[in-house]
Amino acid sequence: MRDGRWIWLRLAWRNLWRQKRRTAIQLAVVAGSVLIALWYNNLARGMYAAMIRDGVRSGSGHIGIYHPNYLSDRLVRQTVAPDGLIDELRKLDHVVAVMPRVMLPGVARSSYELLPVAIVGADLDTEQAINPILDAKRLVAGRLPSPGKRTVQAVVGARFAERLHLRVGSKFVFNAQNADGELIATAMRVAGIVRTGLQEIDEGTLLVWRQDAAKLLGRPGHAHEIAVLLDRPNSIAELLPEVQARAAARGAKAFRWEEAMPGLASGIRMDYAFLQAIVFVIFVLVAIGTVNILVMAVLERIREFGILRALGMERRQIGWLVLNEAVLVSLLGVAIGALLGFAATWYTWKYGIDLSEMMGGGSVEMEGVLVEPIMRATWDWAGMARLTGVLLLLSIAAALYPLRLVLRVGPADAVRHY
């Protein structure tokens, strides 16, 4: 029985190479589909990982701590007192950084124009090494502010400086309403100018030291957001309950980054749905292409099959031969495609795809997040195995329809009409 199986495989392999062009086309369809599916899936997963990595660094962190109603109301009086909590959080396993921030919306004016802006008060020395907005390559003029100056110093966006006709060292006036509802007005000095490519940052954000922003708010030592950055996203589930308990003890609430940054989370979900649609189209193309090629191959050989039937070969033996041919070409095509997909993933994982020239040398903006212009793939082993298995089964299943054609044709009809 075992020798019989090998005979059928040898016959199937020999039959495949009787028509080298047809077999090469079928291999190209299967291998190309596997290559595209694996590489695109890994590249997309790499993009999502980069968006999350850079998003949590400039936004809420992997876990964000807020006043229970701040995310829904965004009122300046909804603050938390973070000092003791910050020290506790920094001692937890998997915590890389804890970044408290103060948010204060208002208007800025010079003698030329008035613009709506928002102050972001942060520990700039900590965030400089983490927050992509404060990357040195984006600081096009000046430097980071110095804390404790009589006149509050700020890093402003390039578009903001252009519209208000400001340069490093220039002064402007910031007006806002503090946590007690009182109107405040203070002179500020431009310490540095950043250019990110994000309009929200370049035109409407002022970066200052947290203690300066908290004084303007009227609540020294308080913050609106405490961003907890972890060593990896997988640590969120393990650490979240403990962070929630510590935050609740101070009247605050801890949220996952998906809840704190719903725009980024929904953007990734929408893009993932688009990825699934592309993979589905690939599946359809594989099925249609494989069926067409196999039907063509079967129809060309109907007369041959009829003669074999007339010589005594049974239907199931002919069906077994056709099925073995489909299995062999599917296995070979999937193996070639998997190797090519592995090679393409390795290249884009190690070297990436540099989009800096296309983006004018700057960063790529995705869902309001600054992402480095070099797109890198990641290794989604589970996804690769799943896609490879589905495409293999689909290629083999595509043989069922031409196999049915073979089994339905009798020897007399095959010799007479084909």
> C-alpha distances in angstroms, 55 versus 52, 62, 102, 170, 177?
5, 9, 18, 31, 28
What is the rounded distance in angstroms from the CA atom of residue 71 to the CA atom of residue 258? 12
What is residue 66's DSSP assignment? E
pLDDT band at residue 300 using 50, 70 and 90 as cut-offs: low
Closest by Cα among 220, 256, 276 to 55: 256
The region of weakest confidence among 41-55, 95-109, 145-159, 300-314 is 300-314
Which regions of 73-201 does DSSP assign to beta strands (E)?
Answer: 95-109, 114-122, 139-142, 152-157, 171-177, 183-194
- Could you tell me the residue ranges of all domains in the chain? 2-55+265-417, 61-260
pLDDT of residue 363: 56
> Over the range 87-96, which residues count as b (16 or more CB within 10 Å of their CB) and which as e?
eebeeeeebe
Q: Is the pLDDT of residue 366 over 60?
A: no
Average pLDDT over residues 193-215: 88
What is residue 358's DSSP assignment? T
Average pLDDT over residues 91-103: 90
**pLDDT tens, residue by residue, 322-363:** 777 777 788 888 899 899 999 999 998 888 777 666 555 555
Q: Is the pLDDT of residue 184 over 80?
A: yes
User: Regarding predicted confidence, which is higher, 292 or 242?
Assistant: 242
Closest by Cα among 270, 379, 330, 263 to 12: 330
pLDDT band at residue 142 using 50, 70 and 90 as cut-offs: confident
pLDDT of residue 1: 43
Q: Is the pLDDT of residue 96 over 80?
A: yes
pLDDT of residue 302: 63
Residue linked to tokens 């980071």:
144
Residue 75 has φ and ψ, to the nearest 5°, of -90, 140
| Most confident segment among 3-17, 309-323, 365-379, 381-395 | 381-395
Q: Looking at the DSSP assignment, which residues form a beta bridge with residue 186?
A: 174
Residues 6+ apart with CB under 8 A from 175: 106, 107, 108, 109, 183, 184, 185
Average pLDDT over residues 262-279: 83
Q: Is the pLDDT of residue 22 over 90?
A: no
Report the chain's mean pLDDT, rounded to a whole number. Answer: 82
**pLDDT tens, residue by residue, 122-135:** 988 888 888 888 88
What is the rounded distance in angstroms from the CA atom of residue 117 to the CA atom of residue 91? 35
The region of weakest confidence among 84-88, 251-255, 310-314, 372-376 is 310-314
pTM: 0.77
Q: Is the pLDDT of residue 36 over 80?
A: yes
> C-alpha distances in angstroms, 38 versus 41, 338, 344, 378?
5, 7, 9, 11
Closest by Cα among 31, 38, 22 to 285: 31
**pLDDT tens, residue by residue, 59-69:** 888 999 999 99
CB 402, CB 294: distance < 8 Å: yes
